[in-house]
Amino acid sequence: MQLIAKLGILADAAKYDASCASSGAPRRSSRGHDSLGATDGMGICHSYTPDGRCVSLLKILLTNFCLYDCQYCVNRRSSNVPRARFSPEEVVRLTLDFYRRNCISGLFLSSGIIRSADYTMEQLIRVARLLRETHGFRGYIHLKTIADADPLLIEEAGLLADRLSVNIELPTDTSLRRLAPEKKTSTIHQAMAVIHQGQQAVAGEPRAPRFTPAGQSTQVIVGADATDDSTLLRNAESLYHGYGLKRVYYSAFSPIPDSPASVPLAVAPLLREHRLYQADFLLRGYGYKAGELLADGNLELDIDPKLAWALANREVFPLDLNRAEPALLARIPGIGLRSVQRLVALRRERKVRYDDLIQLRCVLEKARPFIVTSDYRPAQGDVRSGLLRERLREPQAPVQMGLWG
């Protein structure tokens, strides 16, 4: 098969993986070295997630043959799709060709499982080793890790790649047993632990070799099973704490060609994915706990999770911007972390006024009922008003009804 035909198949097969954003890579340049590439100056995007978002990597699979039969995956053993396989040397050639033409800024490489988990992992490592050691490639490399592979292979990959990721896909054992019978949560967690231990071993050791300097990430599919948002968020929280994950990516399930009856026929709402990203950001950046954001069930779609928390905890508000703790200021809807830093700096010099929030570009529509400044106080009872939620909810875009109701 011609290389271009393989590229068509294996780039298309990789588009379902959302966990390839290249954020967090260290700055690395080839200037002054006998090498090529750099991890900064990115911006040319050549890979797309199923909903059209653009990422700046050559995003391909080594092969879409697979021994496993994950029901949600287009590459599963029982799927009737055209198959192809690159040799490691072909992936290296493509990466360097695209890189030299300034079309990409790095490589995201995943693979179906062929022969065995170890063999597949060895092939992925071979690509990274050829790029790094034979061709002096200093650009970004993200390798998808095969969870069942030998820990020594995972460690080897960690010394070559900027980022490793092990996809959790479905967060409960029950769902994995039903939809991905060859996978186990415990094996996935063990692989994450190996990566985390590798990172800890070199942390604070300036002379130690780099080990996944851009950290590890994972992807979870939303809407392929009945797992609710509260379980997804608790799971993400324990991954951040347990294995120091950089990111959990949420990918709204999109039906695959020739879908089995065990997975839904409809696309999961993208707004649900968006709300999960917002809630995840609150976990990572704002100090919220998953249980605070959602006791059970799914996130509300018509209001963002920070506003939902504020409305559910109205006794905390209104907060005086001249006195409240920074951690509490960050919980005011419409005021982001950077604005909190600026408000804290400002109030060391003088009283914070309402107009300062305009200067800081806070979302006043949301913030107004929850704040007090030196010259502003919300109307009596505004924050307690039963109409507040209705006033602040985001209008929902009309949705075309399905043919079958």
Q: Which is nearer to ligand SF4, 8 or 336 (CB)?
A: 8
Q: Which amino acid is at 231?
A: T
Instruction: Check whether the bond before 206 is cis (ω within 30° of 0).
Output: no
Classify residue 343 as left (phi > 0), alpha (psi -120 to 50) or beta.
Answer: alpha
Q: Which is nearer to ligand SF4, 78 or 400 (CB)?
A: 78
Please give the angle made by the CA atoms of 272, 266 and 276, to the nearest 5 degrees: 15
Q: Which is nearer to ligand SF4, 70 or 346 (CB)?
A: 70
Least Å distance between CB 41 and ligand SF4? Answer: 32
Give the end-to-end CA distance of the chain in Å, rounded to a whole number.
44
Asked if 11 contacts 60 with a C-beta cutoff of 8 angstroms, the reply is: yes
Please give the C-alpha separations between residue 70 and each of 35, 74, 204, 345, 398, in angstroms, as whole numbers.
40, 9, 39, 52, 34
Least Å distance between CB 378 and ligand SF4? Answer: 50
Nearest Cα neighbor of 286 from 242, 342, 315, 326 is 326
Please give the C-alpha separations between residue 14 and each of 19, 53, 144, 373, in angstroms, as whole numbers.
11, 14, 11, 51
Least Å distance between CB 332 and ligand SF4? Answer: 41
Least Å distance between CB 113 and ligand SF4? Answer: 5
Asked if 99 contacts 139 with a C-beta cutoff of 8 angstroms, the reply is: yes
Please give the C-alpha separations between residue 104 and each of 9, 44, 281, in angstroms, as whole numbers.
19, 6, 28
Q: Which is nearer to ligand SF4, 112 or 171 (CB)?
A: 112
Q: Which is nearer to ligand SF4, 124 or 180 (CB)?
A: 180
d(CA 372, CA 378): 7
Least Å distance between CB 180 and ligand SF4? Answer: 6
Q: Checking DSSP bridges between strand 54-55 and strand 216-222, what pairing results, if any?
A: unpaired
Nearest Cα neighbor of 378 from 359, 364, 395 is 364
Q: Which is nearer to ligand SF4, 165 or 230 (CB)?
A: 165
d(CA 56, CA 51): 15
Least Å distance between CB 148 and ligand SF4? Answer: 9
In the complex, which residues of this chain contact ligand SF4 (CB under 6 A)? 66, 68, 70, 73, 75-76, 112-113, 180
Q: Which is nearer to ligand SF4, 180 or 188 (CB)?
A: 180
Least Å distance between CB 140 and ligand SF4? Answer: 22
DSSP symbols for 83-137: --B--HHHHHHHHHHHHHTTS-SEEEEE----S-HHHHHHHHHHHHHIIIIIS-B
Q: Which is nearer to ligand SF4, 68 or 281 (CB)?
A: 68
Least Å distance between CB 350 and ligand SF4? Answer: 57
Least Å distance between CB 3 and ligand SF4? Answer: 21
d(CA 399, CA 344): 43
The rounded Cα 177 to chain-centroid distance in angstroms is 24
Least Å distance between CB 59 and ligand SF4? Answer: 14
Helix, strand or coil for residue 180?
A: coil
Q: Which is nearer to ligand SF4, 76 or 275 (CB)?
A: 76
Q: Which is nearer to ligand SF4, 104 or 180 (CB)?
A: 180
Q: Tokens 């609150």 map to which residue?
A: 282
